[in-house]
Amino acid sequence: MRVCIVGASGKLGQYMAQHSLDRGYQVVGVCREQSVGKLDEFKGRITVFPGATDDRDVIEHAVAGCDGVLVVLVPRGVRGYSTGTAQAVLDHAPPGARLVFSCGWHITLDGKDVYSWKLKALVKIAGPLARLARFADLDDQVEACRRVFASDTRWTVVRGSDLEEGESQGLPVWSRHVGDPILESNLTRRVDFALFMVEALENNELVHEAPAIVGRQTPSALAHAASE
């Protein structure tokens, strides 16, 4: 399998690159030119396309011939970075390719998610402040996912909880809706978020799903497993 990782230089992207290589995949990475050095540990093992992830020409060349595309949707700035990235991938990925996007729990597919007051407050307060500072735009990520959901591609949108570093706890567990008891712990190891993204490439049950994930060894996941 040939896989393109859009946003390969970030922590999540680097973990996805390693998981993909561990599976014997051919790996192509896209990252900003100033971040290419972050991928030095993969020299000779992956092909890197330097450029902004919303650069349509860069994406077109990077995804050519790829069976899967892993996309880190980063709501950077206030110029539609996430939306531009998603649209470029949707437009240029080969027909039938598996497209797996990452985002936060605040994205909803069917409107049936139930959010805690803490998360709602964070989005309501921090979101406008980040946009005012021209640092990030959460609405841009919402629009990016809306376009993914409306597309006729073989997409999956993986919605991550709060993240932490640490050794892998195994493949995270997931639910269709935020608010389900299994997700209550709201914590996932970043290396395992990346693992779920890579695993989704070959899991057809996740096509047209927006799984919300949580760490397999968190209290809420363990409690759910014990009750089954």
SS3 per residue for the chain: CEEEEECCCCHHHHHHHHHHHHCCCEEEEEECHHHHHHHHHHCCCEEEEECCCCCHHHHHHHHCCCCEEEEECCCECCCCHHHHHHHHHHHHCCCCCEEEEEEECCCCCCCCCCCCHHHHHHHHHHHHHHHHCCCECHHHHHHHHHHHHHCCCEEEEEEECEEECCCCCCCCEEECCCCCHHHCCCEEEHHHHHHHHHHHCCCHHHCCCCCEEECCCCHHHHHHHHHC
Answer yes or no: is pLDDT of 132 > 50.
no
Is residue 182 within 8 Å of 218, Cβ to Cβ? no
Work out the angle between the directed axes of helices 56-63 and 81-92 (0-180°, nearest 10). Answer: 40
Assign 124 a pLDDT band (cuts: 50, 70, 90): low
Assign 10 a pLDDT band (cuts: 50, 70, 90): very high
With CA atoms as reference, report the closest residue to 74 among 155, 145, 153: 145
Assign 46 a pLDDT band (cuts: 50, 70, 90): very high
Q: Is 96 exposed, middle or buried (0-12, 13-18, 19+ CB in 10 A)?
A: exposed
Percent of the chain scoring above 90 in pLDDT:
79
Q: Which amino acid appears at position 157 of this protein?
A: V
- Among the residue ranges 51-65, 86-100, 107-121, 200-214, the one predicted with the least confidence is 107-121
How many other C-beta atoms lie within 10 A of the C-beta of residue 203? Answer: 14
Assign 129 a pLDDT band (cuts: 50, 70, 90): very low
Answer yes or no: is pLDDT of 117 > 80.
no
Position with higher pLDDT, 169 vs 130: 169
Mean pLDDT for the chain overall: 90
Assign 140 a pLDDT band (cuts: 50, 70, 90): confident
Q: For residue range 72-106, list pLDDT tens digits in order.
A: 987 554 467 899 999 999 999 999 999 999 998 88
Q: For residue range 168-225, list pLDDT tens digits in order.
A: 999 999 999 999 999 999 999 999 999 999 999 999 999 999 999 999 999 999 998 8
d(CA 55, CA 33) in angstroms, rounded, equals 12
Predicted pLDDT at 135: 43
d(CA 212, CA 177) in angstroms, rounded, equals 7
- Among the residue ranges 32-36, 115-119, 132-136, 149-153, the one predicted with the least confidence is 132-136
Instruction: Note the Cα 57 to chain centre separation in Å.
Output: 21
Answer yes or no: is pLDDT of 126 > 70.
no
Assigned token pair, 82: 């996430």
